[in-house]
Amino acid sequence: MGRRGSKKKKAQMMILNEVKKQLLLQAERWGKAGYYTPLKLEEMELEACKRIIGDLLAEKNNLDYQMNMLAENRKEIDMKLQRLSVYLTKADRVAKSHDKNIEKILDKLIGDRKKTLGALERVKFKEAQAISVLISDN
Amino acid sequence: MSELTNVHSDLASAKFYGSRSEQAKQQEALKQAVKQDPSTTTGIQWAQTQAVQQAQSGEQAAQVANAAKPADAKGANAQSESYDIVQPNLEDVAMLTTTVSTNESEVAASKAGMVRRFVAGRLNMGALETSYKEYFKKSKSHNLLLERFMANVKFSAMKMLMSALGVSAEEQVQMQAEVREEALKEIDSKLQNDWAYTKAMMDITG
């Protein structure tokens, strides 16, 4: 990708950021100030990414069928399949990056993960004990 | 001398009371046989009057009448015809000279919301509600100057108008809640479908 392409991408990203900013501002004015957190936005992006992966896979199946059943334009279909596989690997990578981002945000929210997990286990153990006591009483 | 002055005063009082009684009699004797003839062009109503003057009895009265109106004393039962514009009745004069309402409909207490219902019947309430919702939605816009300020002004005006037309505060709050839900749904769908999808697509294909 040349300098022209990167400029175009930069401009597109700026527009997208502006759209996001305006939508979040509107939501804030409607009284949902804290609803669209970074975590929520990351989840949205991950969901969209998964949807795109589903669409790509459906297209790949379609092209595979055309490749196997129809004899026309095999070269073109082959090129399309190659392109699709590239997109699919990229989409997987993007989805993983979003997953990582979500984990990071959750870690920030939770704090020390080991301590939280230990506390959770203790709470579960206490609940199980209370249930066993209730059963023995009955 | 004193007798002479007494005679003078008696004559003067007799003249005075005689003229008063003559006037009253003349008024009683005047009978108007009204034949109304409305003009077609101006709407003025003309009346043909017949004035009947009865013969006066009594010497003093006759003297006074002769002194006051010498031309009228032509004989008994003198009649004269003339045309006059129909004068308003006493009731009409009372209506003109007073500001107090005499009709029952004017005096009766006005029914509540009659004007409002009349105006609301003439206006398209559906269109008003739509514009009310639209201005309320625009008043929450991100654009400060162009959209939000003007929309706020318009929304305030619409609010006043709706209140004047009898839309209660509860109904207005309900409408606002509907608009809020719609707007939030729209924002959510835009964020999910437009922004997130486009960004993910750009990340993948770009």
Q: How far is it, in rounded angstroms, from Cα B206 to Cα B201?
A: 8
Position A102 scores a pLDDT of: 92
Do B44 and B127 reside in the same domain of the chain? no
Position B26 scores a pLDDT of: 65
Q: How far is it, in rounded angstroms, from Cα B64 to Cα B128?
A: 81
Q: Phi/psi of residue A5, each to 5°?
A: -65, -40
Do B90 and B123 reside in the same domain of the chain? no
Mutate to test the interface with A, among B147, B180, B185, B187 (most CBs of A within 10 A): B187
User: What's the pLDDT tens digit per position in A60-108?
Assistant: 999 898 888 887 788 888 898 999 999 999 999 999 999 999 988 888 8
Buried b vs exposed e over B124-134: b needs ≥16 C-beta within 10 Å?
A: eeeebbeebbe
Do B133 and B200 reside in the same domain of the chain? yes
Tokens found for residue B120: 């609301």
How high is the mean pLDDT of chain A?
Answer: 87
User: What's the pLDDT tens digit per position in B35-83?
Assistant: 555 555 555 565 666 655 444 445 555 554 455 454 444 444 555 666 6
Last residue of a domain, one of B41, B72, B97: B97
Tokens found for residue B62: 């006759």
- One-letter amino acid at B104 equals E
Position B57 scores a pLDDT of: 47
Q: pLDDT band at residue A2, thresholds of 50, 70 and 90?
A: low
Q: Is the CB of A10 inside 8 Å of chain B's CB atoms?
A: no
Q: pLDDT band at residue A112, thresholds of 50, 70 and 90?
A: confident
State the distance between the two ends of chain B, measured CA to CA, in whole angstroms: 142
* ipTM value for the complex: 0.79
The answer to whether residue B30 sits within a structural domain is yes
Q: Average pLDDT per run of 10 along chain B, which is 206 residues long? A: 53 59 62 52 59 49 50 49 60 51 56 60 76 82 71 83 84 89 91 90 86
CA distance A87 to chain B (A): 6
User: What's the pLDDT tens digit per position in A27-70?
Assistant: 988 888 889 999 999 999 999 999 999 999 999 999 898 888 88
The answer to whether residue B107 sits within a structural domain is no
What contacts A18, CB < 8 A, 6 or more positions away?
none
Tokens found for residue A130: 């209370």
Domain borders along chain A are: 1-36, 37-112
Position A58 scores a pLDDT of: 92
Chain B residues within an 8 Å CB radius of A45: 196, 199-200
Tokens found for residue A110: 């939770």
Position B76 scores a pLDDT of: 46
Position A97 scores a pLDDT of: 94
Pairwise CB contact (< 8 Å): B196 & A48? yes
Q: Note down the domain range covering B30.
A: 2-97
Sheet strands (E) in B106-206: none
Chain A residues within an 8 Å CB radius of B191: 20, 23, 36, 41, 44
Give the neighbor-by-neighbor strand order of the sheet with B36-38.
Answer: B36-38, B45-53, B78-85
State CA A132 to chain mean position distance: 41
Please state the domain count of chain B: 2
Q: How far is it, in rounded angstroms, from Cα B24 to Cα B90?
A: 19
